[in-house]
A and B are shown apart, each in its own frame.
Chain A
Amino acid sequence: MKKIKIAQLAPLWIPVPPRTYGGIELMLSLLTEELVARDYDITLFASGDSKTSAKLISLTEKAIWLQKDLRSPHAYINIALEKIYHHRKSFNLFHNHFDFFMFPLCLLGTIPILTTLHRPIDSVAAQAYRAYNKINFCAISEDQRQSVEENGISTIGVVYNGIAPEKYIFKETADDYFIYLGRINKEKGIVDAINVSKEAGVKLLVAGNIVGGDEWNYFLHEVQPLLNEENINFIGQLNFNEKVRLLGGAKALLFPIDRREPFGLVMIEAMACGTPVIAYRRGSVSEVIKDKKTGFIVNSKEEMIEAIKKIGVIKRKDCRAHVEQNFTLKQMVDKYEEIYKKLI
């Protein structure tokens, strides 16, 4: 039988897989590798510094966020559309991970497009998404599906992100610190994570990256003044191995998310290492964490402090098992395969 040919369209901001931060790019790398292993003919359209066992078609030599002199990404995105267009006849399906930028491809009318919605969508942007009624949208949590459907965008399904648990070293006992891992911005809740740790009198490792002028301003004015404390240790960006080591050593991941999080890959990465998650009840959180079993779902700073104090009651084995049962790469790819079959 002829192989099914699928183009995976990556965001061009960071390479696939990411060297440090990048949930979408990590998920996409896993998906691509697994599809290749399952004998699909996969082409990854991504920045040229990406690595994959699929065919790579480079859309920009270097990922956009790594080009510090670049003022506007729009020329690259146009080049990307152009290159994908010229290869269009080789594919049975486009699987788009690059937001609305790739939507014009649906005007070709010949190749189905599946778009995984990796980011929250506000009601203004939703009007544009809705207008592209030939695109098939896939959500990454039930809550996200609900939020996009509230905005009039219909979805073809929900596929939770998954990881390969065997790549995450399970750590039976934690060291003496908590961890924050994510972008250093307001919506990811960095300031609450620091303040809660201070009030609870626990050590916090702050890991993550800072992108663009707004985040740098936020870092310099809101975050940095809070860092000059013995117990708060800012360590910047982590590569995969460092991430696994430091997530695994933590008593818990603090996830005081201040937006309707569509999935939150870092939560399942932490749990895969045996590390429970303490998170605000927003977006996907109550689907990803089993409250009181793999962490705590809380509603306020005060509740987060209480949860920190009683974190010892969580069994780290339960966290790992939860990921193995619900958020594996295999489960994710099984579901995408079903959707691909529906569309082709």
Chain B
Amino acid sequence: MRIAQIAPLWITIPPLKYGGIERIIAMLCDGLTNRGHEVTLFASPGSTAKGKLISVFEKPLLDVNIAWSNPIWNLRNLSLATEMANEGKFDIIHSHLDLWTLFFHNLTKTPVIHTMHNPLYRTNADANKDDRLRLFKEEAKRTNIVFISQSAKDQAMLEFPEKRSRIIYNGSDLSHFKFNLKGGDHFVWIARMNKHKGVENAIAAAEKLGVKLLLAGRVDPTQVEYFETYIKPHLNKKIKYVGELTEEQLSDFYGPAKALLYPIEWEEPFGLVVTESMACGTPVIAYRRGSMPELIEDGRTGFIIDSDINLLTEAMEKVNQIDRALVRQKVEERFSKEIMVANYEKAYYELSL
């Protein structure tokens, strides 16, 4: 098939560092190309994912400080892809641009599919996002939408027709995640530094048990104050912050750990760190929020617990029971990039036939 992938333009595909959506797009481009499809990637210069790269602007937008909120290049990107689709160049357009995609399916007969990477519901972090929902009310019936978990779909404040909505889990490149049979004695937590990602809960549990905990992840400029006030005072020999990690460093972060703690305080739509950790054989102990029960099998690949520090410490004490080989195996069966690519491929065929 001739597939257009429409990516956000602020950083390259794949990203040099942080960027979950950009990483998923790169896997799709590589995987689809390897399966013999003709991929055209609408993304920033410097993107190295497989396929023919088309860039509407000369640099990644972040390099020239174009604000996330400025949509001019998103619109241009979608416009160009649509123009080319109308010249008969694509069999399907797959957009990752969130809400800007919604209007464009009107402008072309080529089918458009749209992955909703961001949650379509009120989150703790963002209680005012419902301005977006008013739009989806109008659009829900005609949009081909992909949710990244059943939870993300269930929590959406709007109903989408079954035949137009799909669930496709994010995948990881398992070759980047070395299986570690033994694990170790310490625990890990990784995410963007943010209250909703449960970092304080992880710290409280580790302090209660007197065990070692390594924290990793980016501190955004808006979160510096949070980090300084609530996290830094807890850092010591046992609780350490190791900064933001590159993809190459992730295996050595997850693998030697006893478990990943993910006591989140929001309805996380997917949680790539969970499947990445599992890919290294490291089980995950998570609060029963968002997609967690879909990703983790309670008692088999980790523990799902109600939001309570005592339950968290209990689970940490019995996590040795988990068979790390099974943890890895489950990821191979459900969350590899190959499986994700195959699921998208199936969706493309369904829509374009």
* Interface of A toward B, CB cutoff 8 Å: 69-72, 74-79, 81-82, 85, 100-101, 103-104, 107-108, 124-125, 127-128, 131-132
Contacts and interface: CB of A to CB of B under 8 A. Distances in A.
The 3 lowest CB-CB distance pairs between A and B, nearest first, are A75-B135, A81-B103, A107-B107
B75 A103 contact: yes
Given A82-B106, A100-B75, A70 B131 contact: yes
Contact of B138 (A69, A72, A79, A100): A79
Contact of B132 (A75, A81, A107, A131): A75
Interface string B75-90: 1101110110010000
A107 B75 contact: no
Nearest to B73: A128
A128 B139 CA distance: 27
Given A125-B72, A128-B76, A78 B66 contact: no
8 contacts: A74-B69, A75-B131, A78-B99, A108-B107, A124-B64, A125-B72, A132-B76, A132-B79
Contact of B139 (A77, A82, A104): A82
Contacts of A125: 72
B2 to A, nearest CB: 19
A104 B107 contact: yes
B51 to A, nearest CB: 21
B316 interface: no
B179 to A, nearest CB: 42
A129 B64 CA distance: 18
A124 B66 contact: yes
Nearest to A83: B138
B86 A107 contact: yes
Interface residues of B, number: 35
Given A78-B99, A81-B103, A131 B131 contact: no
A74 B56 contact: no
Given A71-B129, A71-B131, A82 B79 contact: no
Interface in B50-108: 56-58, 64, 66, 69, 71-73, 75-76, 78-80, 82-83, 86, 99-100, 102-104, 106-108
B241 to A, nearest CB: 30
A101 B72 CA distance: 7
Interface of B: 56-58, 64, 66, 69, 71-73, 75-76, 78-80, 82-83, 86, 99-100, 102-104, 106-108, 126, 128-129, 131-135, 138-139
B84 to A, nearest CB: 11
A131 B103 contact: no
Nearest to B71: A74
Contacts of A81: 103
Contacts of A104: 75, 78-79, 82, 103-104, 107
Given A74-B69, A131-B80, 15 more contacts: A70-B128, A70-B131, A75-B99, A75-B131, A77-B71, A79-B135, A79-B138, A82-B103, A101-B75, A103-B75, A104-B75, A104-B104, A107-B107, A124-B66, A132-B76
A69 B139 CA distance: 23
A74 B136 CA distance: 12
B72 A100 contact: yes
A107 B100 CA distance: 15
Given A107-B107, A108-B107, A74 B100 contact: yes
Contacts of B129: 71
Contacts of B82: 104, 107
Contacts of B104: 104
A101 B103 CA distance: 12
A81 B134 CA distance: 14
Contacts of B79: 103-104, 107, 131-132
Contacts of A103: 75, 79
Given A103-B79, A108-B107, A78 B135 contact: yes
Nearest to A127: B57
B100 A78 contact: yes
Contacts of B76: 128, 131-132
B103 A71 contact: no
B99 A76 contact: no
Contacts of B128: 69-71
Given A100-B72, A103-B75, A85 B134 contact: no
Given A103-B75, A128-B73, A72 B131 contact: yes
Contacts of A69: 128
A81 B83 CA distance: 17
Contacts of A127: 57-58
Nearest to B131: A75
A125 B104 CA distance: 21
A82 B102 CA distance: 9
Most chain A Cβ neighbours within 10 Å, of B75, B82, B102, B126: B75
A87 to B, nearest CB: 12
Contacts of A101: 71, 75
A184 to B, nearest CB: 21
A15 to B, nearest CB: 19
B281 to A, nearest CB: 41
A71 B73 CA distance: 20
B96 to A, nearest CB: 15
B138 A82 contact: yes
A79 B134 contact: yes
A151 to B, nearest CB: 14
B328 to A, nearest CB: 40
Nearest to A134: B83
Contacts of B100: 74, 78
A76 B71 CA distance: 13
